Amino acid sequence: MTPYPFDAPASQALLERALAVTPGGVNSPVRAFRAVGGTPRFMASGNGPYLTDVDGREYVDLVGSWGPMILGHRHPAVVEAVQAAAADGFSFGTPSENEVRLCEEIVARVEPVEQVRLVSSGTEATMSAIRLARGYTGRSLIVKFAGCYHGHVDSLLAQAGSGVATFALPDSAGVPKEMAAETIVLPYNDLAAVEQAFAAQGAEIAAVITEASPGNMGVVPPAPGFTEGLRRITAAHGALLISDEVMTGFRCSAAGWYGLEGPYDAGAPDLFTFGKVMGGGFPAAAFGGRADVMALLAPVGPVYQAGTLSGNPVATAAGRATLEQCTPALYQRLDEVADAITAALDTELGRAGVPHTIQRAGSMFSVFFRDGAVTDYDGARAQHVPAFGAFFHSMLSQGVYLPPSAFESWFVSGAHDDAAVDRVVSAVPAAAAAAAEAFATIDS
């Protein structure tokens, strides 16, 4: 194909309108392309593995709405479920059967989860899980890991990954010092640091929260035994373990990362958070876990949590229809697609002499433009970000839409057929050459 031009007039015109009415012209920071430069693409439609922007350009989508579109865009079963639910009403502010069915589906898939509470976003899920852990233990301190992102909760924005890493902000303005002081930030994959923190303040720590397999500093899976160690340490000190599966839940396997790595000899996490895939592209998320912990939530217990649109009948219909399509055959196809793309990346980047490391969690993967395994946030940041920018724009010009940040996961879908995969693979050699040139330019 003839490469798309760098300029995108229709997207630029929309950006100028958006800049007048919303900060940065976007409603979530990474979308602004600040990390890679150029004009963010305003999308007009999605179909299967493809996105089409307002300039009429078609792209193979490797963002997938940042994970939810595991079936691809506009999957017929999800469209049918959404249309049927919408025909009966958009929101009731009452219980409905759809929310019960979605909760049943989640509980059936993740063995340690006995009860769940539905919310509207991953941030809301982690915020509520933290409140519940504090209510259950009567303690206030939370342990998190540098580079793990758990939404824009005040106390959890200390050394987060994702957009915070993209914009090189170690913390966020607007977070009170008193709130930040309630969070202990430790290096990821460092059990010795966790042991030391609990030895010093274990009686005050309510919970450890960790991404089940981090994807917000790029994909950095837990080292063998790390999750097991967290369970052992927290149990010994009476603290809870919260596994954030907003990204990995139902994406890495039918039971998320827990389905790949668990069960653990030391026992399961006490609480889990979910989002993305379980909403099928609609605003839906959840937190859940042991029944005795969940029993502290109102109206049964004293920990208050509520939401007007929680359990929305249309969103829960989309989520349930999506999970019903998440079959063994789907997960096999996701792995096949990820295998083909990562093999091409490794071959062509190697041929071009570009230092790189590819890491995976199930079918989620990311490319670090540096040599050597990445095990923590410092390792993720020690990559050649300009090389990623050059790689990104070469792929974009060839009709492949990647995450516009070096610190994000790439996502494939069951709709990525051989034609879509071939288009991605055929774009990699030129993008690898662009990355090699960026390395040479900066290093000289």
Catalytic residues: 149, 244, 276
Q: Left (φ > 0), alpha (ψ -120 to 50) or beta: where does 262 sit?
A: beta
Separation of CA 113 from chain center: 20
The tokens of 302 are what? 């004293």
CA distance 78 to 73: 9
Structure tokens belonging to residue 7:
């300029």
Burial bucket for residue 194 (CB in 10 Å: 0-12, 13-18, 19+): buried
The Cβ of residue 140 has, within 10 Å, a number of other Cβ atoms equal to 12
**Distance between CA 218 and CA 216 in Å, rounded?**
5
Name the token pair of 20.
Answer: 């007048």
CA-CA-CA-CA torsion for 331, 337, 340, 344, nearest 10 degrees? -130
Instruction: Compute CA distances 38 → 50, 163, 218, 404, whole Å.
Output: 21, 17, 22, 10
Residue with the two structure tokens 């989002």: 275
